[in-house]
Amino acid sequence: MDRHDIEKRFTVVIDNRRLNQSGSSSLFTGFAISSITLIVVTTFALMSSFSMQPQRDFSGVKIDIKRVIPHLPLSSEKEGERSDLLKQQTQVNEKLQVIEVFSGDNLSDKFQKRVNEFVGDGCEVNFIMTWISPAEFFGNRELLAIESVFKSHPYGCLMILSATMDSPQGYTVLKPFLDRGYKVLAVTPDLPFLLKGTAGESWLEEIKTGKRDPGKISLAQNLSNLMRLAYLYKYGGVYLDTDMIVLKSFKGLRNVIGAQTLDPSSTNWTRLNNAVLIFDKNHPLLLKFIEEFAKTFNGNIWGYNGPYLVSRVARAVEGSSGYNFTVMRPSVFYSVNWLEIKKLFKVAKTEKDSKWVKIKLLHMRKSGYGLHLWNKFSRKYEIEQGSAMWKLVSDHCIICDIGSAS
């Protein structure tokens, strides 16, 4: 069938339909007929043209399929990303501000003068603590730790390395001890001075210049780990966490670190803790601790630069010549672990718990020099009247406001 036959047939069909329609639609009908005819003719022409073309082989044609980008960020999403980056940078800057607090103008001269005036021959034992939180958070638990220090060492000296406690508010907190004649002082530490000449000096510079990642863990917490080591290396003495209750005089202890756990089969220590450190000035193990801190610092793992660090180094040098230190059994400082500390705050309700408490108290009186309270876990517990903690506080307090010590 050729093109003229197709046109003829469509014309006949349209004419028949047109006869059945009213005159009012003649204009629309004419337009429709013309449009359909044009479409048919064009279609036929294309079909004829295609049929006349020789068949082509497409087997060798390569189709390049380009990767489609599934999602383009909206402007709001880009702003969100910028906000996250800004937040991260702000957090880093806030962490670095902690360092600036410990390295202010003329701080070095002030720090050395105050330390040298405070630490002298008149001190029975030189104790130090660190405090990195606001002064208002220095509460009754921390005051209880100070009471226990002076109960066992009435002629001892206690220095608190803290920028927040070295303030009028901090002085007010410590005034009850000063009024009773005890020697206690809060001093803003000069970190660059304490680290000078050690591996910690380069670590501090790398943190300040952004070459070392401070990590997710509080930088202040890791600075506390480092400051206690650096201070002991410069001056020597006894470092105590603020949740350590002193049970008896430390006067006879030298170059001591406490084991937190033992291997039950071999009775060898498996982990040490840095909540109590007793060392002479310039002790080589302290320098080794600082070197390990600077070399392997990891700000993303809790305890890596603290308890785990002293455990790693002590294990590595134990038995080597040139290092003279003693690892004390857990009963000396860590007779109660953090999982069981709650039992000391509560009155025993079962015969089993009562027996456990009696045994622990007996061990503390016999071989314990201190008791770590694990404040992170025990802070929520109140001291129940008649509990083991009630008895311990009664025996080792000065002000003895037991109710507030809860």
Query: Position of tokens 């927040």?
Result: 164
- Token pair for 255: 């170059």
Q: Determine the pLDDT at residue 160.
A: 98
Residue 294 scores a pLDDT above 70: yes
Q: Is residue 73 part of a domain?
A: no
- Give the pairing of strands 126-130 and 326-328: unpaired
* Secondary-structure percent of the chain, ordered helix, strand, coil, rounded to 5: 50, 10, 35
Q: Determine the pLDDT at residue 80.
A: 55
Q: Which domain holds residue 203?
A: 97-330
CATH of residue 268's domain is 3.90.550.20
Q: Is residue 55 part of a domain?
A: no
Q: How many domains does the chain have?
A: 1
Q: What is the mean pLDDT of residues 321-329?
A: 94
Kindly write down the DSSP assignment for every residue of 328-364, as one continuous string. Answer: EPHHHH-SS-TTTTHHHHS---SHHHHHHHHHHHHHH
Q: Is residue 160 part of a domain?
A: yes
Q: Is residue 90 part of a domain?
A: no
Q: pTM of the prediction?
A: 0.76
Q: Is residue 308 part of a domain?
A: yes
Q: Determine the pLDDT at residue 169.
A: 97
Residue 324 scores a pLDDT above 70: yes
Across the chain, mean pLDDT equals 82
- Give the pairing of strands 237-240 and 269-279: antiparallel
- Token pair for 295: 């070399």
- Token pair for 99: 């360092």
Between 267 and 157, the more confident residue is 157
Please enumerate in sequence order all residues whose Cβ is within 8 A of that of 359, keeping only pairs 6 or more positions apart, or say none. Answer: none
Q: Is residue 169 part of a domain?
A: yes
Q: Which of 25-34, 210-219, 385-394 has the lowest mean pLDDT?
A: 25-34
- Token pair for 239: 């470092």
Band of residue 102 on the pLDDT scale cut at 50, 70, 90: low
Give which of 132, 127, 21, 144 is closest to 403, Cα–Cα: 144
Q: Is residue 404 part of a domain?
A: no
Q: Is residue 298 part of a domain?
A: yes
Measured torsion, CA atoms of residues 357, 358, 360, 361, in degrees rounded to the nearest 10: 110
Residue 8 scores a pLDDT above 60: no
Residue 167 scores a pLDDT above 80: yes
